Amino acid sequence: RGKRAFIAGVADDQGYGWAIAKSLAAAGAEILVGTWVPALGIFETSLRRGKFDSSRVLPDGSLMEIAKVYPLDAVFDNMDDVPEDIKTNKRYAGQNKWTVQEVAESVKQDFGSIDILVHSLANGPEVTKPLLETSRRGYLAALSASSYSYISLLKHFAPLMNAGGSSLSLTYIASEKIIPGYGGGMSSAKAALESDTRVLAFEAGRKYNIRVNTISAGPLRSRAAKAIGFIDDMINYSLANAPLQKDLEADDVGNAAAFLASPLAASITGSVVYVDNGLHAMGLAT
């Protein structure tokens, strides 16, 4: 039987989530995605109208199929968490079953089990503010959307993951080194995500026999990254200073994700794997 993957955080064809979906599809996996509720309408329309067709092409010439798109807001675990203003917001009102627990239940009902869980989402409302200027609310929102969302996803999906399964998230070097401009508590959120990767590898490994890793990715001009504001500088910095002076493609991260999700990586868990042309290893800009 082929493997089945659920990828949370795909809303267009520009980000790491899409590239990971493609690499997993190319390796024969069935693809389910979770799309942020406010972005769902445009994503589904664009898919239907063929706007992504050129980026759906797999190495064998076929087009990636997405078996099902689920609405998801990973900031809420179940309906009890959802405040009135979100419930009545017109971008949410037309959708249902989009909290983490409900999405896991729907996937279980629709497909029974999964083998691969991918968390490719982050959000920090104050990301453009220095940490010193970040509000408590903004900081906690960054941690909720970017770190706890992973714990929640794993907690609710692990029971439907087949033994030997693999779970992955995406992190960024700002967790361990100072990256001015990656503010709002996003650096803290990535530090938490990496630490949680180790603890969850232990807990989910013992309890469910699944692996938990995170990819520390280099800079990509995704929608989320453009919102931070300094992505072109980061890409140029990497080109100038990384050991490998080449463009980092989203597919490089997709392929590493497919490796980590595969039996080739059967003994890798609790790891931060750098897919960044080696930039993390530099100590001095050149």
Least gap, CB of 162 to ligand NAI (angstroms): 24
Is 32 an interacting residue with respect to ligand NAI (CB under 6 A)? Answer: no
Q: Catalytic: which of 92, 139, 182, 208?
A: 182
Contact 270, 169 (CB under 8 A): no
Q: Which stretch binds ligand NAI (CB under 6 A): 15-23, 126-134, 175-183, 194-202?
A: 15-23
Q: Which amino acid is at 52?
A: F
Looking at residues 148 to 207 of the shown chain, list those that interact with ligand NAI (rule: CB under 6 A).
170-172
Q: Determine which one of 172, 208, 237, 274 is catalytic.
A: 172
CB 169 within 8 A of CB 214: yes
- Can you name the residues that pair with 214 across neighbouring β-strands? 169, 272
Span from 23-31, 81-89, 133-141, 220-228 in contact with ligand NAI (CB under 6 A): 220-228
User: Applying CB under 6 A, does 214 fall inside the site for ligand NAI?
Assistant: no
237 catalytic per annotation? no
CA 252, CA 92: separation in Å to the nearest integer?
Answer: 34
CB 249 to ligand NAI: min, Å: 12
Q: What is the DSSP letter of 82?
A: -
- Is residue 75 within 8 Å of residue 83, measured between CB atoms? no
Beta strand extents in the chain (DSSP E only)? 4-8, 30-36, 66-72, 114-119, 161-171, 211-217, 272-275
Please report, as residue ranges, which positions from 70 to 99 form the binding site for ligand NAI (by CB under 6 A). 72-75
Contact set with ligand NAI (CB under 6 A)? 9-11, 14-17, 36, 39, 72-75, 120-123, 145, 170-172, 217, 219-220, 222-225
> Looking at the annotation, which residues are catalytic?
172, 182
